[in-house]
Chain A
Amino acid sequence: MTVTKKKAPSKSTGKANGSIKRRAKPKIAVWKFASCDGCQLSLLGCEDDLLDVVGEIEIAYFLEATTTVVKGPYDISFVEGSITTDHDVHRIRKIRQQSKKLITIGACATSGGIQALRNFADVDDYIRAVYARPDFITTLRTSTPIQEHVPVDYELRGCPINKAELLEVINATLNNRVPNIAHTSQCVECKKKGTVCLMVAKGIPCLGPVTHTGCGNLCPSTDRGCFGCFGPSEAPNGASLGRQLEKLGMTKREVRDFFRSYNANAGAFRKTSEAYD
């Protein structure tokens, strides 16, 4: 329940020290690496809010939205996608050099994404299975997150990211404050929202107890166990959850595959799935 109605509010005034200066519009760039574009689309999907955002920033580089390109340096770079080629490695270093702040968005950029399944297999097998002319393909053997290659100032999780959280990150960055984004488990969201625990009340397997909050409680509130789109929570115990999933009837292989999806390469999820290999 939220308190919205204001009845006879009490007011008090305060004076800020000196005058409050209007800030200059920061130059923003949005970059893409190996990804599906879904996270960038979340930004465009902000609709009305996007117009407000655009009023506060200068979009200097965002090919998904405009072909106009303003040269760097940039105040804030948003990076979507993972590093899968040599060319990517060079490009992300250049971007870092030109960016005061670098914020990664989405499971690909923060953990390597679904394409990191190659990290658990032989990439040549995949290439032969998928492409008519495998000899045209040059790629790294792994898909890795941005922070394995350059320092990152903030990571926003999700596959895809939640647009409300994206707006919060932009808002907080513009206003020089820490984003209000919790790193607790999905369970905390369930309980705050009043969603009945699927594991306890129905025996439905769920990754919620080890998954980072952020999606707005999408799956559990519609009777589906969490798939872990937002990656590991701040203190995940994959081994213990794995044992519980087995008790609920999952086979070892199913447990392995449950942990090995959009965030397969994220530390705790990788460790858990490898223990089931």
Chain B
Amino acid sequence: MTSSHGAVGQAHSKAHSAKETSIPVGTKVVIDEAGLSALFSRLIKIGYQPIGPKVRDGAVVYEEISSPSDLPVGFSDEQEGGKYRLVPGTKGSFFEYLVGPTSWKKFLFPPRHKMWSADRDGKGFTVENPTDDAPAYAFIGVRSCELNAMKIQDKVFGFGREDKCGAGIFSDPGYVARRSKALIIGVNCSRAGKTCFCSSMGGDPHMKEGQGYDLTLTEFAPSNGKHEFMMEVGSERGALILDLLPHREARSADVSMADSQARKARGEMGRKMVPDVKDVLPRNLRHQRWDEVAERCLSCANCTMVCPTCFCSTVNDTTDLKGDHAERWRSWDSCFSIDFSYIHGGAIRRETKSRYRQWMTHKLSNWHEQYGTSGCVGCGRCITWCPVGIDITEEAKAIKNTGE
């Protein structure tokens, strides 16, 4: 972590205390590369830890970054079932790449997290709750599907929901703390990939007002030494930051350029989900397609690890050797692991077929009953990062076409 503990605490208060700004939510402006650099330095100055895309080990991953030069400059990617390749893109572009193997859940819902510890103390023991010292993140480059995924996890972890322990509803304090501190700077997609299908999951490659971003960027590809970004204000917090950046007002030419980019991306969606999948799957729980997919599925859990909405975890207790100190840790788990469905006497989902079916029916069907939304935003990660290229849209189509 580059930001110190003290600065983290200030991020919030600083951004909020300067309450005066004349920029209303919904304002569209244009900034250039210097404006983007200024954005990074402002964020760092007021105590945010910028997290964003960068190239590592042949992919675009989300990590700590500190300036536009850390971005995947000039990179694009090609994606297919089980295949991802970084390729050269428009020279000098910052955001031509599409979603990669990491998602923002890694920061809001960390892969490993200590819940509490306990120490032996005479005849009893003392329990200690660690406070969460994660910094205030500024997520730079959040895509439309990813913001939708974040809003789905918000429901799961209870962000923006009143705690009602009596009714069995409660929030995850760590998630809520990290999420409420986080600033979201979205980026609209200038293209769609071969595994993208956000359009058929109720999403769109370009973000809409009220979707939940603080600021959002539309990159106009660099040409003739000009490299500009249209920036839209989504919240007062975003407006306060924009106020400090060099910018000009957006003209109608800028707005129509952004609109035509959105139309182009919509037209490029590589995949499509069958529209009534929510009702098709429960009617076909005994379809032989489940056996066929199980022949291919490795039970490796990659699809659930890369999915920005999957939230399953396991809890483990550890002790020190003497048994005087104990800790409880939560870590990512998956419905593809056998231990995950272990209850008294054994696991309920012993076959790959039943584990794959659990994953897909939960995601696309049962999720609606549980959270009032689909569990899939159409980002395509599970297709690209499945080592054998199993395709959730293809499976859904096959079941619909040959089932009941």
Residues of A within 8 A of B (CB): 1-16, 18-20, 23, 52-53, 56, 167-168, 170-172, 174-175, 177, 180, 182-185, 187-188, 191-197, 199-203, 206, 208-210, 223, 233-237, 239-241, 243-244
By a CB distance below 8 angstroms, the chain A residues around B128 are 6, 9-11
Complex partner residue of A235 from B121, B129, B352, CB under 8 angstroms: B352
By a CB distance below 8 angstroms, the chain B residues around A209 are 298, 300, 302, 387
Tell whether, in the assembled complex, residue A191 and residue B56 are in contact, meaning their CB atoms are under 8 Å apart: no
Q: How far is the CA of A240 from the CA of B389 in the complex (A)?
A: 11
By a CB distance below 8 angstroms, the chain B residues around A20 are 120, 123
In the assembled complex, how far is the CB of residue B104 from the closest CB belonging to chain A, in whole angstroms? 13
Residue of B nearest to A223 (CB): B57
By a CB distance below 8 angstroms, the chain B residues around A206 are 387
Tell whether, in the assembled complex, residue B319 and residue A182 are in contact, meaning their CB atoms are under 8 Å apart: no
Tell whether, in the assembled complex, residue A14 and residue B338 are in contact, meaning their CB atoms are under 8 Å apart: no
Residue of A nearest to B299 (CB): A235
Closest 6 CB pairs of A and B: A191-B305, A209-B300, A235-B299, A15-B124, A192-B111, A196-B57
By a CB distance below 8 angstroms, the chain B residues around A197 are 84, 101, 302, 385, 387
By a CB distance below 8 angstroms, the chain A residues around B113 are 2-3
Tell whether, in the assembled complex, residue B334 and residue A188 are in contact, meaning their CB atoms are under 8 Å apart: yes
B337 at the A interface (CB under 8 A): yes
Q: How far is the CA of A187 from the CA of B129 in the complex (A)?
A: 31
Tell whether, in the assembled complex, residue B302 and residue A191 are in contact, meaning their CB atoms are under 8 Å apart: yes
- Which of B18-26, B148-156, B204-212, B320-328 contacts the other chain? B320-328
Q: A3-B114, A192-B332 are in contact. Are A13 and B321 (CB under 8 A)?
A: no
By a CB distance below 8 angstroms, the chain A residues around B319 are 171-172, 175, 177
Residue of A nearest to B385 (CB): A200
Residue of B nearest to A176 (CB): B323
In the assembled complex, how far is the CB of residue A109 from the closest CB belonging to chain B, in whole angstroms? 23
B367 at the A interface (CB under 8 A): no
Tell whether, in the assembled complex, residue A240 and residue B298 are in contact, meaning their CB atoms are under 8 Å apart: yes
Number of residue pairs spanning A and B whose beta carbons lie under 8 angstroms apart:
195
B106 at the A interface (CB under 8 A): yes
Q: How far is the CA of A185 from the CA of B388 in the complex (A)?
A: 15
Complex partner residue of B112 from A7, A175, A192, A203, CB under 8 angstroms: A192
Tell whether, in the assembled complex, residue B58 and residue A180 are in contact, meaning their CB atoms are under 8 Å apart: no
In the assembled complex, how far is the CB of residue B279 from the closest CB belonging to chain A, in whole angstroms? 30
In the assembled complex, how far is the CB of residue B95 from the closest CB belonging to chain A, in whole angstroms? 19
Q: How far is the CA of A81 from the CA of B394 in the complex (A)?
A: 47
Tell whether, in the assembled complex, residue B302 and residue A201 are in contact, meaning their CB atoms are under 8 Å apart: no
By a CB distance below 8 angstroms, the chain B residues around A15 are 123-124
B69 at the A interface (CB under 8 A): no
By a CB distance below 8 angstroms, the chain A residues around B131 are 3, 5-9
By a CB distance below 8 angstroms, the chain B residues around A174 are 321, 323
Q: How far is the CA of A52 from the CA of B324 in the complex (A)?
A: 13
By a CB distance below 8 angstroms, the chain A residues around B114 are 2-4
Complex partner residue of A240 from B125, B129, B296, B317, CB under 8 angstroms: B296
Q: How far is the CA of A223 from the CA of B298 in the complex (A)?
A: 21
By a CB distance below 8 angstroms, the chain A residues around B127 are 11-14
Please encode chain B, from 316 to 355, with 1 for each CB lying within 8 Å of some chain A CB and 0 for all others: 1111111100000001101011110000000000001001
In the assembled complex, how far is the CB of residue B388 from the closest CB belonging to chain A, in whole angstroms? 5
By a CB distance below 8 angstroms, the chain B residues around A235 are 299, 336, 338, 352, 355
In the assembled complex, how far is the CB of residue A42 from the closest CB belonging to chain B, in whole angstroms? 17
By a CB distance below 8 angstroms, the chain B residues around A194 are 61, 63, 102, 106
Known: A184-B336, A192-B332. 18 other contacts (CB 8 A): A1-B134, A2-B113, A11-B128, A13-B124, A14-B125, A170-B321, A174-B321, A175-B319, A175-B321, A177-B317, A182-B339, A183-B338, A200-B82, A210-B300, A240-B296, A240-B298, A244-B82, A244-B388
Tell whether, in the assembled complex, residue A53 and residue B321 are in contact, meaning their CB atoms are under 8 Å apart: yes
Tell whether, in the assembled complex, residue B321 and residue A52 are in contact, meaning their CB atoms are under 8 Å apart: yes
In the assembled complex, how far is the CB of residue B341 from the closest CB belonging to chain A, in whole angstroms? 12
